[in-house]
Amino acid sequence: MMTDRPHLREIAGLVGILPGYHGTDGEWHETSAATYEALLAALGVDASSEASAQRAIGEAYGGVLDNDDADPAGRACYAVDDAVGDRRVFGVGANLYSMRSDSGCGIGDIASLNELIDLASASDASFAGINPLCAIDERRGDGSPYFPISRLFGSWVYIDVESVPELAACGDAAAVLQSEPWRRRASAGRAAARIDWREVLALKRAVLEPLHRCLRPGSARRDQFEQFRRKQGACLTDFATYCAIAEGEAGAESDWRRWPVELQDPQSASVRAFREENLERVEFYEFLQFELDRQLAAAAQRARESGLELGIYGDLPVGVAPGGSDVWAQREQFVDGVTIGAPPDAYAEQGQDWGIVPLDPRALDRPGNHWQQMLDRNMEHCGVLRIDHAMGVVRQYWIPAGRPAIEGAYVRYPTSAMLRALADASRRNECVVVAEDLGTVPPGFRERLERWRILRHHVLYFERDGEAFAGPDRYAAPALVAANTHDLAPLEGYWAGTDLELRMAGGTLDGSRIDELRAERARDTAALRDALRREGVVAEGWQPTEPLELSAAVYAFLARAPSRLLSVALDDLADEREQINVPAGADPDRPSWCRRMHCSLSDLRDDPRLESALARIRLERSRADGDGRHRQA
């Protein structure tokens, strides 16, 4: 207890640092004086002593945040009813990069997204779900879509190089694609069990560079490119300049904080000089964003024309890398000296430090702030957008630099202002919003989501009634329901306990507890089997004889929920066992964000068991509409 630091507590309260939180264990965890001081210092407030804290209060520090509980004014977010009426619908979701294809070079890209859209359409689904496509530093080697360098621009590794319009008239690019070394390396990538992000980057760059050189002056494509550049303005120029500096002048270093000091300020004379001297290279990175945007727009149109009323279901990461382009170009919008994470819970007993930098809550009332820009950019081609760790509009768990995650604290955010911006962007782009509300949830948060017409995010593994699994009737109607997430095991892996082995190999699980946790998982799978039996989707004594039988039963169970949206994971339909990410650690031999699906979508599509499973899901969803068939909008 800090009875001797009243001024420290007062200034912390004014700034928005919370005195503590109730963890998932139900216990109260109090913010320490050291954490208060470190977080205040990151916000530019000296509270190292009671005297300095008192001076900060006396200077009337303007840090009080608008965190009121105001109701939305004027239609809230774009509602799911606006797109699909009162129906309960489903979609198919995938980790796009993990998808296998009979073409390409070892990663799922926009060509794979089009395949996913076609599968969803043939299954009478209403959306195709994918991971965030935000720009990442692929050279890091892990490819995490939740550690982006920018949330304003995309990762060009997803460009389908064989669909770039310039290819038809670009002999140099065609020669690369047809060369024996490129084809051999691409074939090896397609066959590999894991993505080699650096190799994929090199293969795609070898084709995209000559394609850019074939963007002819005076052509219709050149005119479209120039229109794109004008629309994106200085943001695009800054992003492309960052990319060009990172690959060359800075010695292939993507963290701007390690660049020569004269390049760390995007407005400096040195940066302007670099841009002038490297116009073609800067334009190359602008071209990549232009083509990626074109391909995403075409995929979104394909989805709508194929009957997917909700089109593409996208995902928005909670933050950006501190050394990335967004922070470099808009430093005044972010807080230095802290990172975002999560307090301890059952999946990470020491808490999690995600290494991403938070938006400065004091900057969120400025016109055209980063939050507003980011929402529009990510909703532009999506009919649904999931907000990762959506509790961040109320509070975020800040960890002082150099401190363990357990020493963090929650900081308040201007909730109403952020929700108003979210609702405005949602209506402007006709995009339904889903809030990931898992983990330590602030009181009243879920009720607030409903008032703003934001869907909750139910996950089967967490929906319990004591030790039993809750029945589908216990799920909320204004929600998306799923069996799992990218951080959790696919159904087959959950049933087999594969995730426990991965956590132990990755060092996030004490090996002495493995027998205890295996026994607990056995009870969990028995409880899940009981829930399926109670609901009547399996018979007494049922045991799955093959993985897809398990997935079909679980999704038939979830399809009966009143929740408006159901996301069916492609990993579950494909009998995958390994989760794509092991939070807070991974086996070096099985790194996160690199696992590829073991079969291609064309192979999966030819499996009659898949159509049987999807037909069962479709039937259960349509029964919920009351007329025994899946009605079309």
Where would I find the beta strands (DSSP E) of 259-408? Answer: 312-316, 338-342, 352-356, 384-387, 395-400
Strands 28-30, 20-22: pairing kind: antiparallel
Cα–Cα nearest to 555, from 479, 460, 474: 460
pLDDT tens digit string along 478-487? 999 999 999 9
Cα–Cα nearest to 152, from 320, 385, 388, 365: 320
Task: Please say whether the beta carbons of 263 and 127 come within 8 A.
Answer: no
Which residues are paired to 312 by β-bridges? 128
Annotate 69-99 with DSSP letters as a single string.
Answer: -PPP-SS-SPPHHHHHTT--EEEEE--GGG-
CA separation for the pair 371, 420 (Å, rounded): 11
Residues 6 or more apart whose Cβ sits within 8 Å of residue 33: 2, 5, 8
CA separation for the pair 497, 620 (Å, rounded): 28
User: CA 142: distance to chain centroid?
Assistant: 15
Q: Taking 90 as the threshold, does the pLDDT of residue 215 lie above it?
A: yes
In this predicted structure, what is the pLDDT of residue 632? 30
Task: Please say whether the beta carbons of 99 and 111 come within 8 A.
Answer: no
Q: Where are the domains of the chain?
A: 455-559+570-627
The two structure tokens encoding residue 378: 């990510």
Up-side HSE of residue 161: CA atoms within 13 Å toward CB? 28
CA terminus-to-terminus distance, the chain: 59
Q: Taking 80 as the threshold, does the pLDDT of residue 475 lie above it?
A: yes
Asked whether the whole model's pTM tops 0.85, one would answer: yes
Neighbour tally for 167: CB within 10 Å: 17
In this predicted structure, what is the pLDDT of residue 503? 84
CA separation for the pair 104, 115 (Å, rounded): 13
pLDDT tens digit string along 551-568? 999 999 999 999 999 999
Task: Please say whether the beta carbons of 352 and 582 come within 8 A.
Answer: no
Q: Taking 50 as the threshold, does the pLDDT of residue 126 lie above it?
A: yes
In this predicted structure, what is the pLDDT of residue 629? 33
Provide the residue type at 499 as one letter: D
Residues 6 or more apart whose Cβ sits within 8 Å of residue 308: 91, 117, 120, 121, 125, 126, 127, 128, 383
Q: CA torsion, points 152, 153, 155, 160, in degrees to nearest 10? A: 140
The two structure tokens encoding residue 376: 């529009």
Q: Which residues of 338-358 are buried (b: 16+ CB within 10 A; e: fewer)?
A: bbbbbbbbebbeebbbbbbbb
Task: Please say whether the beta carbons of 351 and 344 come within 8 A.
Answer: yes
Mean pLDDT of 4-32: 90
Q: Token pair 């809030």 is at which residue?
A: 435
Annotate 493-546 with DSSP letters as a single string.
Answer: HHHHTHHHHHHHHTTSS-GGGHHHHHHHHHHHHHHHHHHHHHHTSS-TT---SS
- Pick the range with the lowest mean pLDDT from 44-53, 133-142, 369-378: 133-142
CA separation for the pair 414, 418 (Å, rounded): 6
Residues 6 or more apart whose Cβ sits within 8 Å of residue 233: none
CA separation for the pair 43, 407 (Å, rounded): 17
φ, ψ dihedrals at 429, nearest 5°: -100, 0
Rounded to a whole number of angstroms, the CA Rg of the chain reads 25
Q: Where are the alpha helices (DSSP H) in 393-462?
A: 415-429, 445-451
The two structure tokens encoding residue 222: 């050149």
SS3 content of the chain, % helix, strand, coil (to 5): 50, 15, 40
Q: Taking 80 as the threshold, does the pLDDT of residue 624 lie above it?
A: no
CA separation for the pair 455, 88 (Å, rounded): 13
φ, ψ dihedrals at 130, nearest 5°: -140, 165
Q: Taking 60 as the threshold, does the pLDDT of residue 117 lie above it?
A: yes
pLDDT tens digit string along 361-389? 999 988 889 999 999 999 999 999 999 99
Q: Taking 70 as the threshold, does the pLDDT of residue 590 lie above it?
A: yes
CA separation for the pair 293, 296 (Å, rounded): 5
Task: Please say whether the beta carbons of 566 and 125 come within 8 A.
Answer: no
Cα–Cα nearest to 147, from 581, 485, 492, 474: 581
Q: Taking 50 as the threshold, does the pLDDT of residue 129 lie above it?
A: yes
Q: Which residues of 540-569 are buried (b: 16+ CB within 10 A; e: fewer)?
A: eeeebeebbbbbbbbbbbbbbbebbbbbbb
pLDDT tens digit string along 98-109? 999 988 999 999
CA separation for the pair 595, 577 (Å, rounded): 11
Q: What is the DSSP letter of 129?
A: E
Instruction: Give the burial class of 213: count Cβ atoms within 10 A of its Cβ; 0-12 exposed, 13-18 middle, 19 or more buried.
Output: middle
Report residue 627's pLDDT band, with 50, 70 and 90 as the boundaries. very low
The two structure tokens encoding residue 357: 């930098």
Which residues are paired to 357 by β-bridges? 320
pLDDT tens digit string along 449-471? 999 999 999 999 999 999 999 99
In this predicted structure, what is the pLDDT of residue 46? 94
CA separation for the pair 153, 133 (Å, rounded): 8
Q: Token pair 């109320």 is at which residue?
A: 394
In this predicted structure, what is the pLDDT of residue 93? 98
The two structure tokens encoding residue 307: 């009957």
Report residue 54's pLDDT band, with 50, 70 and 90 as the boundaries. very high
In this predicted structure, what is the pLDDT of residue 38? 96
Report residue 250's pLDDT band, with 50, 70 and 90 as the boundaries. low
The two structure tokens encoding residue 40: 């205040």
pLDDT tens digit string along 491-534? 999 999 999 988 888 777 777 889 999 999 999 999 999 999 99
Q: Taking 70 as the threshold, does the pLDDT of residue 76 lie above it?
A: yes
Coil, strand or helix at 67: coil
Report residue 443's pLDDT band, with 50, 70 and 90 as the boundaries. confident
Q: What is the DSSP letter of 442?
A: P
Q: What is the DSSP letter of 350?
A: T
CA distances from 413 to 379, 398, 420 (A): 22, 12, 13
The two structure tokens encoding residue 525: 């799978």
pLDDT tens digit string along 311-356? 999 999 999 999 999 999 999 999 999 999 999 877 677 888 999 9
